[in-house]
Structure 1
Amino acid sequence: MNTSSNDKQITDDLMPQKFSKSGMIWVGILSTICVIGAYAYYRQLRYGLGVTSMRDYVSWGIYISNFVFFVAISLVGSLITAIFRLANVAWSTPLTRIAEIIAVSAITFASLIIIVDMGRPERLYNLFAHGRLQSPIAWDVIVITTYLFISLFLLYVPLLPDLKIMNQQKNKNSAWQNKIYIFLGSFWKGNSEQVKISDKIINILCIMIIPVAFCIHTVTSWLFATTYRPGWDSTNFGAYFISGAFLVGAGGVIVAMYVFRKHYHLEKYITELHFEKMGRIAVMLSLIYLYFNINEYLVPAFKMKKSEAAHLAELFTGEFSIMFWFAIMVGMIIPIFIMLFKKGRKPLPMFITGIMIVVGAWFKRYLIVTPTLLHPFLPMQNVPDNYKHYFPSWEEWAITMGSLAGALLIVTFFVRIFPIIPIHETITEQNEKDHSK
């Protein structure tokens, strides 16, 4: 096959595709969940946080658990895009845009869920007007905002060469798509000067996003660690959060790889080699995260201070034990055993493993928040019985599920509008391979 026909084949394979019947059903389900979540939030705005099950002790609950989960999974943008680009890991090309859009959708809803948790969204203005730099909450807002903008640029700038290709394929696009492509990329001509500037911008963004990504997870961990409570009073939290974020981010990419590969027939571009490589990375990340989990629980369990004892007992053998061991086994232990073997690093086992990692990670974030709040240093006295337990109300579940569905909708619509695998980079790499033969 000559170069021009090869380029055309790659372009045809990677062009955005219209939603099939199953795709329309998928969008309909996600949209319905989002509408139910919006209605639940309307009820929360109208009747206040009283519609939730949060009380004086559990004042964060499932919303902040979801926030920490979104922040964690967003780290995949810096792992796959920035670190792999800077390390010149060539095989990661088909995965970079998948990682970037997951990062953008996750950090967007991390920002939104914080506003939901506030109860009075109009008071967000006070954080900017009267914020105090010595507050970890102010640090969190600053790094989340910075990370969101860097992630958006890191998604947009490498997309420019593909926008030029899309503008050249106007007859294959709908009118509304052509308007989007012209608006976003009509200035891109692809000359050497633009390419040089683009490469420099991408390198700068990749260098910038790594410390910002580490900051966002460290600062989020400090929101907990600087609060004097059993379970949070730990100097391990920064590294603990970062290692867990790398793992869940990798798990999210593995799931997305399999879905896009299967649904859009991208077997030529997302190959078994990619699952093999991601499997090896995920094993390493699982082992690192497992180490920090052992460190997080073994040391206080060995000392067994009275304030920590009740909290640990609830996790290991008490009310939260089933969820705790589920998160440990399903989120780390079982994936390690699956991915250690070559057969476990095939596409389908990796897909199942990725789901296990993501689901286990969500429950792990819930366990970081709720049990600790139910075990303050000062014993609960003279309070109603429902203050001593927490299970989210239907409004909380609906808003949480709506936020997760919303993040998936962003990814779904992005894939409908833009190529999920970089066309220009894929063509360039293929041509370089052909010339080197």
Structure 2
Amino acid sequence: MSLDKQPLIPPDLTHADISRRISDLVLNQPSPRAWKLALVISGLLTLMLLAGLGAVFSAGVGLFGINIPVAWGMPIVNTIWWIGIAHAGTLISAVLLLTRQPWRASINRLAEAMAMVAIICAGIYPFLHLGRPWLAYYLLPYPDSMDLWPQWRSPLVWDFFAIAGYLVFTFCFLYLSLLPDFATLRDRARTRAVQLIYAVLALGWRSSAIHWARYERANRIMAALAAPIVFSVTGILSLDLAVSIVPGFHFTIFPPYFVAGALFSGFATVAMLAVSMRSLFGLQDLITRTHLDYLGRMMLVFALVVDYAYLQEMFTAWYSADEFYRAVYLDRWSGPYAPVWWGMILCNVMAAQLLWFSSVRRLPWALFSLGVIGNLGMWLERFQIVYTSTHADFMPSAWDSIWPTTWDWAIYAGTLGLFTLVLLIFVRIAPLVSMHDMRKQIHRRRQHER
């Protein structure tokens, strides 16, 4: 069959086939060797994360490569990067649900799980960066006899509520979508213990008409809330930089710029997960090359928006005639961090142009490679924003070049391990493809054929 005409769902697939095929991945199919190897590697990286957390909590943030004038460093770089990955997962599932896109059914569960785990990884860094994480409750509006109230004008306080609210929303959105599938696993489980576990997780779901009516209504409401929540969290995060007077930070286009960058890195991560899982569990007929093509198109759209933001930044630096802003860009091009800037351009501008070709988008290994390159480029972008904007500011006497330390890299690698570890465990205890959404698409296809 021609790849251009490959259907989203195999024409001979039935409801029973979907239930059996996907539930067996959880209940009956043994774990592939590649899954076990990935679990061991990610587990070792997670242990590295725990060691790094213990070291920072005991010795302080001096272990990080942060110093005046670069007082934020890797913790903030990685926070922004992880939040960007998280946001696209929620937006993919929510927006595609509201627009009734049929290709959502095969990838929405991966996107929602990715968002949940990524926001947890993002939340680790702000507590580390506080230096005294046991005083994190100062950000809460708690009644205090010493009148130590939060500084409501600080974007850092806004971040706390934005990230915490997004974490709660993401968990509810993911768990709601899992309810019908947990019920299917409960009904198909062979042992009493497994039946009881999924019965508790299914919360008494019986597939009655009233259950489905309430489920569909709640799902639409959650999806409608997802878009403003995603845009507000990323927008608030960008205000940490935009409200300052530091050249390179003080840029009014940062909120939409950060949203576009978040969606680009998020779609790149979903593409990587889709390619990995279809290969790992043999799901080539459920996650087809057509799905990969659509993911590649979305990556291209947001890569072009990000590229436009780069041009806008350079134009603003030139047109504003601000000598400090111009100096920031000259330093980015030829200063000590120049390889970071040019690497960002190579990944996010030049390599992304390969996504114009459908043959590249439909080739699994090529799309996976471009997803890795895109995520690397977005990490370099966040690095150059945080570092190059502050290492040479208004005071030449404070200029310095600050680089990440071994502990910075160890904790970053550890969060990558934690992200992979949790996702690998998730796909063994919950369906990685939504059964009820796939069955719904089969029903719609049959109605259309009639």
Query: Shorter chain as normaliser: what TM range?
Result: over 0.9
Q: Which amino acid aligns with 2:273?
A: A
Following superposition of structure 1 onto structure 2, how do residues 327-342 of structure 1 map, counting pairs within 5 Å?
327-336=344-353, 338-342=354-358
Following superposition of structure 1 onto structure 2, how do residues 149-228 of structure 1 map, counting pairs within 5 Å?
149-171=168-190, 175=193, 177-228=194-245
Structure 1 counterpart of 2:82: 70
Paired residues, number: 427
Shift of 1:435: 4.5
Q: CA–CA distance in 1 between the matches of 2:301 and 2:12?
A: 41
Structure 1 174/251 Cα, relative in aligned 2: closer, same or farther at 3 Å? farther
Q: CA–CA distance in 2 between the matches of 1:312 and 1:320?
A: 11
Q: Which amino acid aligns with 1:80?
A: I
CA offsets, 1:272-296, max 9 Å, x none? 1111222222211111111111101
The one of 267, 274, 284 equivalent to 2:301 is 284
Shift of 1:178: 4.1
Q: CA–CA distance in 2 between the matches of 1:418 and 1:19?
A: 14
CA offsets, 1:17-60, max 9 Å, x none? 44322212211111111111211221222222222221132111
The one of 294, 297, 304 equivalent to 2:314 is 297
Shift of 1:324: 0.9
Structure 1 374/198 Cα, relative in aligned 2: closer, same or farther at 3 Å? same
Contact 1:301 1:312 (8 Å CA) reproduced: no
Q: CA–CA distance in 1 between the matches of 2:67 and 2:223?
A: 42
Q: Normalised by the size of structure 2, how large is the TM-score?
A: 0.90
Specify the SS of the correspondent of 2:311.
helix
Q: CA–CA distance in 1 between the matches of 2:325 and 2:203?
A: 60
The one of 14, 19, 23 equivalent to 2:35 is 23
CA offsets, 1:128-168, max 9 Å, x none? 13323322111111111111111111111111111111001
CA offsets, 1:82-115, max 9 Å, x none? 1111111112111111111111111111111111
1:139 pairs with 2:184: no
Q: CA–CA distance in 1 between the matches of 2:201 and 2:261?
A: 35
Contact 2:107 2:433 (8 Å CA) reproduced: yes
Structure 2 counterpart of 1:11: 19
CA offsets, 1:384-423, max 9 Å, x none? xxx7121111111111111122122221111111001101
CA offsets, 1:322-380, max 9 Å, x none? 111111221232122x1111211112321211111111111111111111120222222
Specify the SS of the correspondent of 1:94.
coil
The one of 372, 375, 385 equivalent to 1:355 is 372
Structure 1 266/45 Cα, relative in aligned 2: closer, same or farther at 3 Å? same
Q: CA–CA distance in 2 between the matches of 1:95 and 1:369?
A: 33
Q: Which amino acid aligns with 1:400?
A: Y
Structure 1 counterpart of 2:422: 410
Q: CA–CA distance in 2 between the matches of 1:21 and 1:188?
A: 34
Structure 1 8/53 Cα, relative in aligned 2: closer, same or farther at 3 Å? same
| Structure 2 unmatched ranges of 5 or more | 1-10, 143-148
Question: Deviation above 3 Å: which 4+ runs of structure 1?
Answer: 177-180, 301-304
Q: CA–CA distance in 2 between the matches of 1:335 and 1:60?
A: 29
Q: CA–CA distance in 1 between the matches of 2:53 and 2:167?
A: 24
Q: Normalised by the size of structure 1, how large is the TM-score?
A: 0.93
Structure 1 435/109 Cα, relative in aligned 2: closer, same or farther at 3 Å? same
Contact 1:250 1:278 (8 Å CA) reproduced: yes
Q: CA–CA distance in 1 between the matches of 2:215 and 2:303?
A: 35
Structure 1 262/243 Cα, relative in aligned 2: closer, same or farther at 3 Å? same
Q: Which amino acid aligns with 2:79?
A: F
Higher mean C-alpha deviation, range 297-306 or range 50-59 = 297-306
Q: Which amino acid aligns with 1:430?
A: I
The one of 312, 317, 330 equivalent to 2:334 is 317
Contact 1:279 1:345 (8 Å CA) reproduced: yes
Shift of 1:200: 1.0
Q: Which amino acid aligns with 2:234?
A: H
The one of 64, 78, 92 equivalent to 1:80 is 92
| Structure 1 unmatched ranges of 5 or more | 382-386
Structure 2 counterpart of 1:384: none
Q: Which amino acid aligns with 1:343?
A: S
Structure 2 counterpart of 1:247: 264
Structure 2 counterpart of 1:261: 278
Q: CA–CA distance in 1 between the matches of 2:86 and 2:375?
A: 12
Q: CA–CA distance in 2 between the matches of 1:411 and 1:37?
A: 16
Contact 2:49 2:413 (8 Å CA) reproduced: yes
Contact 2:307 2:348 (8 Å CA) reproduced: no
CA offsets, 1:216-252, max 9 Å, x none? 0110000011121010011111111011111111111
1:432 pairs with 2:444: yes
Following superposition of structure 1 onto structure 2, how do residues 82-121 of structure 1 map, counting pairs within 5 Å?
82-121=94-133
Q: Which amino acid aligns with 1:144?
A: I
Q: CA–CA distance in 2 between the matches of 1:79 and 1:50?
A: 37
How much is the aligned-residue C-alpha RMSD, in angstroms?
Answer: 1.9
Structure 2 counterpart of 1:391: 403
CA offsets, 1:151-197, max 9 Å, x none? 111111111111111001111x794x544412211411111111111
